[in-house]
Amino acid sequence: MRIFKEIRPLRDFVADKRRQGKRLGLVPTMGALHRGHLSLLEASKAENDLTLCTLFVNPIQFNNPDDLANYPATPEKDLEALRQAGCDAVFAPPAIEMYPTEPRISFDFGALSSVLEGAFRPGHFSGVAVAVSKLFHLTEPDTAYFGQKDYQQFCIIRQLVHDLNFPVRLKCMPTIRESDGLAMSSRNMRLTPEQRKSATGIITLLREAQQRLVNGDRWPVVQMELSKKYQAMSGISIDYLELADLRTLEILTEMREPDHSLLLIAGYVGTVRLIDNLKVSDSDLSVTP
Ligand code: AMP
């Protein structure tokens, strides 16, 4: 497995593989890898000649300095996991390599970035779009793999690729979960054992909301009752619980089409902020035992 910390040799490597006509898959991550990340790697390996994974905690997408400082880092473990999973190349640059000077560019995705995560994390998606644009330029992938867990991020990147004509195909892969349903996340390792139990409330809430919507309960009632219930029961401090059209991310006040409706949640368990989402019509919850 080739490991690059600098842009120049990475570019040479990519140019060489391009000349050989290799199909390249890209898996961008912030490290502290888990099976969710590795599922993206597997998808890429199945569809490409070569898979490149990036490990980069992108400082400009953190609106909260404590969140950046506390973001888990397990670089040696990550490299070992990638090696074992058969990753071909890794780009793990220090921040100074990606941003030798503070970037002046920023992105505004309008309604797509002013709701949900965008409303609670100002500047977050602009920072994501800057980093992903750079990674696309530097690695020139045929296909890039992202997870449904960060669904709004996927929508933002899809818009970025559309608006700027990046010649990249995007894949949104299912959320990989722990056996009790909790979505795998690098942030989960910061939970105490007790908080880890409470965190299961996030998927339990989403499933209960899903069930009630399918049964015909009205969304505003479900939204209010479940927010209160799980705040009290699991101690989850909810930033938002919303229903959105998964094609446009328009926030819905009533459910119209179950096939196109997505439940999205963000909340704190202790000081750890977790997010998750569930399609109303989804019966396959992609639980991995
Ligand atoms: P992160 O390192 O958290 O920025 O995530 C890197 C990529 O992995 C993003 O495309 C995420 O959506 C994806 N990802 C994170 N958690 C999961 C999960 N549990 N299942 C599938 N993909 C995930």
- Residue 288, pLDDT > 90, answer no
The pTM is what? 0.96
Whose alpha carbon is nearest atom 7 of ligand 1? 29
Whose alpha carbon is nearest atom 10 of ligand 1? 146
Q: Each residue of 19-39: pLDDT tens digit?
A: 999 999 999 999 999 999 999
Out of 52, 77, 149, mutate this one to test ligand 1's pocket (max ligand atoms within 8 Å of CB): namely 149
Where in the sequence numbering do the catalytic residues fall?
37
Spatial neighbors of 231 by CB under 8 A, at least 6 apart, are: 237, 238
Q: Each residue of 239-287: pLDDT tens digit?
A: 999 999 999 999 999 998 999 999 999 999 999 999 999 999 987 544 3
**∠ CA(149), CA(114), CA(147), 5° rounding?**
15
Confidence of residue 215 (pLDDT cuts 50, 70, 90): very high
Please tell me the distance from the alpha carbon of residue 188 to that of residue 177, in angstroms, as a whole number: 11
Q: How far is the CA of 29 from the centre of ligand 1 (A)?
A: 7
- Give the mean model confidence (pLDDT) for residues 196-219: 97
Please tell me the distance from the alpha carbon of residue 55 to that of residue 77, in angstroms, as a whole number: 12
Spatial neighbors of 64 by CB under 8 A, at least 6 apart, are: 121
Any idea what DSSP says for residue 152? H
Question: How many alpha carbons fall within 13 Å on the CB side of residue 98?
Answer: 24
Q: Which residues of 186-218 are buried (b: 16+ CB within 10 A; e: fewer)?
A: bbbebbeeebbebbbbbbbbbebbbebbeeeee
**Contact, 72 vs 108, CB < 8 A?**
no
Q: Does 149 contact ligand 1 (Cβ within 6 A)?
A: yes
Please tell me the distance from the alpha carbon of residue 80 to that of residue 126, in angstroms, as a whole number: 31
Whose alpha carbon is nearest atom 12 of ligand 1? 147
Q: Does 36 contact ligand 1 (Cβ within 6 A)?
A: yes
Q: How far is the CA of 45 from the centre of ligand 1 (A)?
A: 16
State the Cα torsion 90-170-57-15 to the nearest 10°: 40
Q: How far is the CA of 33 from the centre of ligand 1 (A)?
A: 9
Confidence of residue 10 (pLDDT cuts 50, 70, 90): very high
Percent of the chain with pLDDT over 70: 98
Give the ligand 1 atom nearest the CA of 175. Answer: 20
Please tell me the distance from the alpha carbon of residue 28 to that of residue 260, in angstroms, as a whole number: 27
pLDDT value for 170? 98
Q: Does 62 contact ligand 1 (Cβ within 6 A)?
A: no
Cα distances from 45 to residues 39, 81, 214, 272, in angstroms, run 10, 15, 37, 32
- Give the mean model confidence (pLDDT) for residues 113-131: 97
Q: Does 29 contact ligand 1 (Cβ within 6 A)?
A: yes
Confidence of residue 232 (pLDDT cuts 50, 70, 90): very high
Q: Which tokens sit at 28?
A: 């961008």
Give the ligand 1 atom nearest the CA of 33. Answer: 2
- Residue 199, pLDDT > 50, answer yes
Please tell me the distance from the alpha carbon of residue 23 to that of residue 9, in angstroms, as a whole number: 19
Write down the mean pLDDT value for the chain.
96
Q: How far is the CA of 95 from the centre of ligand 1 (A)?
A: 20
Spatial neighbors of 15 by CB under 8 A, at least 6 apart, are: none
- Residue 289, pLDDT > 80, answer no
Q: Each residue of 161-187: pLDDT tens digit?
A: 999 999 999 999 999 999 999 999 999
